[in-house]
A and B are shown apart, each in its own frame.
Chain A
């Protein structure tokens, strides 16, 4: 739109209005309580109609929508989602996971917060098998939330530790998220994996430390497991309970590390292995299989629906020029390296509230890349990749629109309110932010291992 007045021409790009407008409308749509997936899709369609009326896009532009949906349908990495959800549901249904968590809880002694600590450890181990946040969070939610609630945990602490431990899958390798980031940044994926090992372990270490401290300070939040009625923990009983999950972890992790399967295939092996183990322990029946399949189908449909909704949203966002708006913003920043890092971290953090990680990788990372290469140099990109990964992990936990929280909400029982989940996430966001700051100020935490690895290779 051009307005001419007094010898000046003011050009108003419609994206400057429609782009921010879309975010505003999305907030309203989501607050209405309607499913997130269709809030995203509905707002996209409404703004597409607006943009067409203003002549910003043609009707034919929307023809790209089914193509993008087809792209999601053809994305082999997403197959890991039903596989890991199935695995989690089967472990839950057969009681294996519960026994594992309780045993690990008892194993941590009569430690207060033992179950939560077990969740952090199990979460770290699960994180080492996959990088799909949705799968990890839903799996952990199905496995451990009922067990912790039965033990009398504070709902916020229980959901917080699960959501946070569930997002570890993003930063602890192997991680599909890091693969995508490496692809976008042009950084070798192997180095990105090695570089994120220390930050990932720092995160899970920080969670564990927090659990220990909070359950010492406020014992009522994380009661020790009541083991009075239970038979004492014998070595053979311990082996019995631990065997099944350890076999499964070996099956999944082992098949990845020994090159038998890709992470996606390893998920499938894990699902089938969980079935076999459930059968071996007598927790398998036709009804159990039906139950597990049903919840897997529903959870997967929920996750993919969000991806479809957010692909519609970001298509229209691009169509109205919202992406140009963001890139203009970044290019006009004062403060050089520091200003660039500060603002780009804020933008990524903020976008993480609204859209899926893959969309952020596609929208923001390419916009950052030219400036980043100039300011940080090619070596800095590896570090930047890990920093972005850590940042996005934080924003997945941010109320009200953190995706990890949505996924957990999707599998949590009625008695847990959304408010419980939101409150629970807050301390863990603070912990993640401190680790993020740590690696921002001490890049060696990221670059040390890759440089050692390449020194060893050279």
Chain B
């Protein structure tokens, strides 16, 4: 009995740590968003200012930089959006169930839908990412950026998503709501 309790405590504290990790990722994602907007503005203005001063201020590298930041933002935030329950649900039936039944179904779908999906994406995305690193793959377009690190964002983002799923499964197993209540408030 004592072993069970300490396991529960330990696993719940791991779930909290995963939450904290995804909040950290979200913080990076917010910075990526602001940088993306700044870069996008520069790309438009740069075309015109550049024409006036006779230099190319916009380039493919900057355009590609914009979508790399977009990718960074989206993939870093996948797990965070699960934590904050922002992923859209069809809650027609769910809203009529008892909390106990809701938790059971949530656990079953986390284990049966989310985690297998994450696992397949992780398994299939690692090999092409490694190949891209081996080739030091770059963009085929003039002045383009390296590709290998953007490809790494797929396994990274899904790892964060999968970890969040595990954290929620742990809480559901212990009969608690899937997310801890203390999100928000960090800068």
A66 near B124 with CB under 8 A, answer yes
A298 near B77 with CB under 8 A, answer yes
Among B75, B88, B114, B119, point to the contact of A302 (Cβ < 8 A): B88
B76-93 interface with A by 8 A CB criterion: 77-78, 80-82, 84, 86-93
Among B75, B88, B94, B117, point to the contact of A32 (Cβ < 8 A): B94
Chain A residues with Cβ below 8 Å from B153 are: 73
Chain A residues with Cβ below 8 Å from B94 are: 32-33
A73-B153, A271-B37 given; A33·B90 CB < 8 A? yes
Q: Nearest residue in A to B139 (C-beta to C-beta)?
A: A74
Q: Give the contact-size bracket for chain A.
A: 35 or more
Chain A residues touching B, majority SS: helix
A29-B113, A86-B37 given; A265·B92 CB < 8 A? no
Q: Shortest beta-carbon distance, B91 to chain A, in Å? A: 5
**B3-11, B13-21, B26-34, B169-177: which one contacts chain A?**
B26-34
Q: Nearest residue in A to B113 (C-beta to C-beta)?
A: A42
Q: Shortest beta-carbon distance, A305 to chain B, in Å? A: 6
18 pairs from A and B in contact (CB 8 Å cutoff): A33-B92, A33-B94, A33-B106, A34-B89, A34-B110, A34-B113, A35-B82, A41-B113, A41-B121, A62-B124, A65-B121, A66-B125, A69-B125, A70-B150, A76-B67, A293-B33, A312-B117, A418-B90
Check: B128 CB closer than 8 A to any chain A CB: yes
B88 near A410 with CB under 8 A, answer yes
A42 near B30 with CB under 8 A, answer no
CA distance A69 to B124 in the complex (A): 11
**15 extra interface residue pairs, beta carbon distance < 8 Å, beyond A82-B33, A297-B33, A301-B78:** A33-B92, A34-B89, A34-B105, A35-B114, A36-B87, A42-B113, A45-B116, A63-B127, A65-B121, A79-B67, A272-B40, A290-B30, A293-B34, A299-B86, A418-B91
Check: A39 CB closer than 8 A to any chain B CB: yes
Q: Nearest residue in A to B30 (C-beta to C-beta)?
A: A293
Check: A417 CB closer than 8 A to any chain B CB: yes
Check: B120 CB closer than 8 A to any chain A CB: yes
Q: Shortest beta-carbon distance, B155 to chain A, in Å? A: 8
CA distance A220 to B125 in the complex (A): 55
Q: Nearest residue in B to A306 (C-beta to C-beta)?
A: B88
Check: A453 CB closer than 8 A to any chain B CB: no
| Number of B residues with CB within 8 Å of any CB on chain A | 61
Q: Nearest residue in A to B106 (C-beta to C-beta)?
A: A34
Check: B43 CB closer than 8 A to any chain A CB: yes
Among A69, A73, A300, A309, point to the contact of B77 (Cβ < 8 A): A300
Chain B residues with Cβ below 8 Å from A73 are: 67, 70-71, 74-75, 150, 153-154
Check: A193 CB closer than 8 A to any chain B CB: no
Chain A residues with Cβ below 8 Å from B36 are: 79, 82, 268
Check: A304 CB closer than 8 A to any chain B CB: yes
Q: Shortest beta-carbon distance, B133 to chain A, in Å? A: 14
Check: A406 CB closer than 8 A to any chain B CB: yes
Q: Shortest beta-carbon distance, A444 to chain B, in Å? A: 39
B86 near A301 with CB under 8 A, answer yes
User: Which of A32, A36, A43, A419: most chain B CB closer than 10 A?
Assistant: A32
A302 near B86 with CB under 8 A, answer yes
Chain B residues touching A, majority SS: helix
Check: B98 CB closer than 8 A to any chain A CB: no
A298-B81, A400-B90, A419-B92 given; A38·B26 CB < 8 A? no
A39 near B113 with CB under 8 A, answer yes
CA distance A312 to B117 in the complex (A): 9
A73-B74, A293-B33 given; A268·B86 CB < 8 A? no
Q: Nearest residue in B to A61 (C-beta to C-beta)?
A: B124
A33 near B44 with CB under 8 A, answer no
A304-346 interface with B by 8 A CB criterion: 304-306, 309, 312
A409 near B88 with CB under 8 A, answer yes
Q: Shortest beta-carbon distance, B94 to chain A, in Å? A: 3
User: Which of A62, A297, A406: most chain B CB closer than 10 A?
Assistant: A297
Check: B187 CB closer than 8 A to any chain A CB: yes
Among A76, A82, A271, A297, point to the contact of B26 (Cβ < 8 A): A297
User: Which of A29, A33, A65, A300: most chain B CB closer than 10 A?
Assistant: A33
Check: A67 CB closer than 8 A to any chain B CB: yes
Check: B73 CB closer than 8 A to any chain A CB: yes
B44 near A268 with CB under 8 A, answer yes
Question: What are the 10 A-B residue pairs with the smallest beta carbon separation, nearest first?
Answer: A42-B113, A33-B94, A268-B40, A35-B87, A41-B117, A34-B109, A66-B125, A301-B77, A301-B81, A406-B88
Check: A347 CB closer than 8 A to any chain B CB: no
Chain B residues with Cβ below 8 Å from A290 are: 30, 187
A31 near B37 with CB under 8 A, answer no
